[in-house]
Structure 1
Amino acid sequence: MPDSTRLPRLCAAVLLAGLAAMPVQAGPAAAHELPHTYVVSRAPGVLPEGIAIDRDGTMYVSSDGTGALYRGDVRDARLRPFRAEGLADRPSTLGVHTDGRGRVYSVGGAELTVHDRRGRLLATRTAQGGPLGASDLNDLVITDDAVYATDWANPVVYRAGIRHGRLGPLEPWLDVRSAFPQFPAQYWLLNGIVADRSGRTLLVASNGTEAVWRVDVANREISQVDLGGASFGADGMVLRGRTLYAVLNYGAPNGVYIADLDPDLRSGAVTHRVTGESFDLPTTLARHGCRIYVVNSQNDEPPGRPPYTVSAIDDPVCARPSR
């Protein structure tokens, strides 16, 4: 990733370094048979960034520092390198997700790649750049008929259609500047992206605007999610029904924030803030069972200090049924 695009992310982390932690909300009893900390790697410079956990508990973590992927299991505290074809020349991998067939989708630089469980490369798609220059893809979400990806360097959401199991070209789909034209284009800093169950609504996080934006897929209408005026410049996010889980590391103390949204995903309120844990510049999260898995990136002080880890915490809303 070019230094010019990395700088705002690191500056945000430095600004937050001195902020005091807020109280942790109590949650259900932990599953003590599972590890609380997972070691991604002990090799210098890995700087973990993204995470995905498949339905069977298989965990994938990406490396911002090297571009590699790591694989493990929620029952085992140690991850190992995932031998994925075609990643040797990619210096950074950020967002990673799996689909219903266990295929592994990841983004880094301008590339979207798809691998099977054995690491075989199934597809590569390249974004051709946006209004500000070369793409720096940050995160992605997979729906029944498309993959959507955010661009940290451009105020653009990309889309690759899925038809009969085949992935189409990765093309510019939405220029978000129309929602807030007076905001400087280079500071949108698009981050996490999630979709509702139907795939008809997307939520897109923007570090720069300190907001989450709602996108109607049918007409590409974009509007800010009203969270009561709170700063909510999320990094990674997870949407489960109407519950939005997010990692914040900009504009608020580092940690996991959980919001309860209305049925249309247009407004809501933050119900839980988990900021008292020993997070080390968290970037994103995954949910599996009644636990939340948080990546400790150490990206505020690269190359960080091994071991690089994922922290597991109890989900404070686990007992409440998803709506």
Structure 2
Amino acid sequence: MPRNRNHVRTACLAAAAVFTTVCAAPGPAAARDLPDTYVVSRQPGVLPEGITIAPGGTMYVSSDGTGALYRGHIGDPALTTFPARGLEDRPSSLGVHTDRAGRVLSVGGATLTVHDGHGRLLATRTARSGPLGAPHLNDLVVTKDAVYVTDWANPVIHRAQLKGGIVGPLEPWLDIRSALPQFPAQYWLLNGIVANEDGTALLVASNGTEAVWRIGTADKEIDQLSLDEPSFGPDGMVLHGHTLYSVLNYGAPHGVYIAELDDDLRTGKVTHRITGERFDLPTTLARHGCRLYVVNSQLDQPPGRPPYTVSAIDDPTCDTP
């Protein structure tokens, strides 16, 4: 979920890949009575970035431009400001997720924050500086025993232990450079992160290497996810079973790319590419029911132009919610 995208385009040193646009047919179970577009905000400079949707349909969207969080419901086309306390000193919020207890976890700058459903601040955890300097936390995933966080500014994954519902200190967990020692450290540019259901494997997107990396949480073994694309460096991702939903906005037409992976999440094949004018520099997505909710960030032309929106599309792989 990068911020300075114009810089990234010249700095990543990766060749752009040519993709064929495939407009997928709507999923059979897609809901027809829900909005196609959600307005996050009409205030200038918001620049939405991250998104999550709780099981009950409550939607949270983060703001790269202001650091605020916004809340709505999939049945309502308009979101409002979520009264999250303690974000006054965080100018940017990127990744946002909810856990099984309904808490809202988000990252930005050097901090991971945890709020309850009313916006009360429950915890703030600060990441240490990495090998290249101050952290710039990008995205997070919550497993049954930990929160894992990517760092856009350092080739480092941070981890906070979860024990009895308590979020422990946010500590450096893995320096990913060992997977590709010859690659320049400053260009790893870690983005989205997802985990399988039992939390034994992570998939981490690297904008700089234009690849997705599989990491075992027990042994920290790092392997590149093998796909049928020569270049595949997503921004945000969602993993549902063996289906990986990714947003690409660099090195390929902007849009949603869907891959079916093997049982061990080591290999896969891209089955759908959904691109086109419906998206305005998409950064990430959420899945709920048989629909995908894609954030239109406008980060390529900050501060963008209100209204700032989320686009809803049918999940072409969907058989059951």
TM-score of the two chains, using structure 1 as the length reference: 0.94
- Tell me how far apart the structure 1 counterparts of residues 3 and 313 of structure 2 sit (CA, whole Å): 28
Letter in 1 for 2:99: D
Question: Is the 1:23–1:276 contact (alpha carbons within 8 Å) kept by the matching residues of 2?
Answer: no
Q: SS where residue 89 of structure 2 aligns?
A: coil
Displacement of 1:27 in angstroms is 2.2
Which sits farther off after the overlay, 224-233 or 196-205? 224-233
Question: Is the 1:13–1:249 contact (alpha carbons within 8 Å) kept by the matching residues of 2?
Answer: no
Name 1:314's counterpart in structure 2. Answer: 314
Name 1:245's counterpart in structure 2. Answer: 245
- Tell me how far apart the structure 1 counterparts of residues 139 and 267 of structure 2 sit (CA, whole Å): 23
Identify unmatched segments of 5+ residues in structure 1.
none
Question: Is the 1:12–1:249 contact (alpha carbons within 8 Å) kept by the matching residues of 2?
Answer: no
Displacement of 1:23 in angstroms is 3.4
Against the structure 1 CA distance between its residues 66 and 147, is the aligned structure 2 distance closer, same or farther, given a 3 Å change threshold?
A: same
Name 2:14's counterpart in structure 1. Answer: none
Name 1:68's counterpart in structure 2. Answer: 68
Letter in 2 for 1:176: I
Question: Is the 2:229–2:270 contact (alpha carbons within 8 Å) kept by the matching residues of 1?
Answer: no
Displacement of 1:277 in angstroms is 4.7
Note the aligned Cα RMSD (angstroms): 1.8
Displacement of 1:46 in angstroms is 0.1
Displacement of 1:12 in angstroms is 4.5
- Tell me how far apart the structure 2 counterparts of residues 138 and 10 of structure 1 sit (CA, whole Å): 17
Question: Is the 1:49–1:94 contact (alpha carbons within 8 Å) kept by the matching residues of 2?
Answer: yes
Matched, 1:139 2:139: yes
Question: Is the 1:13–1:281 contact (alpha carbons within 8 Å) kept by the matching residues of 2?
Answer: no
Displacement of 1:48 in angstroms is 0.1
Q: How many residues align?
A: 314
Summarize the alignment of residues 140-155 of structure 1 with structure 2, pairs less than 5 Å apart: 140-155=140-155
Matched, 1:10 2:9: no
Question: Is the 1:145–1:162 contact (alpha carbons within 8 Å) kept by the matching residues of 2?
Answer: yes
Displacement of 1:292 in angstroms is 0.0
Displacement of 1:28 in angstroms is 2.1
Letter in 2 for 1:155: P
Against the structure 1 CA distance between its residues 108 and 60, is the aligned structure 2 distance closer, same or farther, given a 3 Å change threshold?
A: same
Matched, 1:224 2:224: yes
Against the structure 1 CA distance between its residues 154 and 14, is the aligned structure 2 distance closer, same or farther, given a 3 Å change threshold?
A: closer
Matched, 1:26 2:49: no
Matched, 1:53 2:49: no
Name 2:92's counterpart in structure 1. Answer: 92
What do residues 247-292 of structure 1 show as CA deviations (whole Å, max 9, x unaligned)? 0001111000000000000000000000025100000000000000
- Tell me how far apart the structure 2 counterparts of residues 102 and 194 of structure 1 sit (CA, whole Å): 18
- Tell me how far apart the structure 1 counterparts of residues 172 and 73 of structure 2 sit (CA, whole Å): 35
Name 2:156's counterpart in structure 1. Answer: 156
Displacement of 1:310 in angstroms is 0.1
What do residues 289-311 of structure 1 show as CA deviations (whole Å, max 9, x unaligned)? 00000000000000000000000
- Tell me how far apart the structure 1 counterparts of residues 111 and 8 of structure 2 sit (CA, whole Å): 25
Question: Is the 1:226–1:267 contact (alpha carbons within 8 Å) kept by the matching residues of 2?
Answer: yes
Name 1:275's counterpart in structure 2. Answer: 275
Name 2:80's counterpart in structure 1. Answer: 80
Which sits farther off after the overlay, 288-297 or 220-229? 220-229
Identify unmatched segments of 5+ residues in structure 2.
12-17
Name 1:107's counterpart in structure 2. Answer: 107
- Tell me how far apart the structure 1 counterparts of residues 141 and 27 of structure 2 sit (CA, whole Å): 29
Displacement of 1:185 in angstroms is 0.3
Letter in 2 for 1:278: R
Q: SS where residue 169 of structure 1 aligns?
A: strand
Letter in 1 for 2:244: L
Against the structure 1 CA distance between its residues 11 and 46, is the aligned structure 2 distance closer, same or farther, given a 3 Å change threshold?
A: same
Against the structure 1 CA distance between its residues 204 and 20, is the aligned structure 2 distance closer, same or farther, given a 3 Å change threshold?
A: closer
- Tell me how far apart the structure 1 counterparts of residues 228 and 207 of structure 2 sit (CA, whole Å): 17
Letter in 1 for 2:65: G
- Tell me how far apart the structure 1 counterparts of residues 117 and 61 of structure 2 sit (CA, whole Å): 14
- Tell me how far apart the structure 1 counterparts of residues 170 and 296 of structure 2 sit (CA, whole Å): 29
Q: Percent identity?
A: 70
- Tell me how far apart the structure 2 counterparts of residues 277 and 292 of structure 1 sit (CA, whole Å): 16
Letter in 2 for 1:10: N
- Tell me how far apart the structure 2 counterparts of residues 14 and 49 of structure 1 sit (CA, whole Å): 22
Displacement of 1:187 in angstroms is 0.3
Name 2:167's counterpart in structure 1. Answer: 167
Q: SS where residue 235 of structure 1 aligns?
A: coil
What do residues 24-63 of structure 1 show as CA deviations (whole Å, max 9, x unaligned)? 1212254221000000000000000000000000000000
Against the structure 1 CA distance between its residues 82 and 273, is the aligned structure 2 distance closer, same or farther, given a 3 Å change threshold?
A: same
- Tell me how far apart the structure 2 counterparts of residues 211 and 82 of structure 1 sit (CA, whole Å): 34
Letter in 2 for 1:224: Q
Against the structure 1 CA distance between its residues 309 and 301, is the aligned structure 2 distance closer, same or farther, given a 3 Å change threshold?
A: same
Letter in 1 for 2:249: N
Question: Is the 2:22–2:272 contact (alpha carbons within 8 Å) kept by the matching residues of 1?
Answer: no
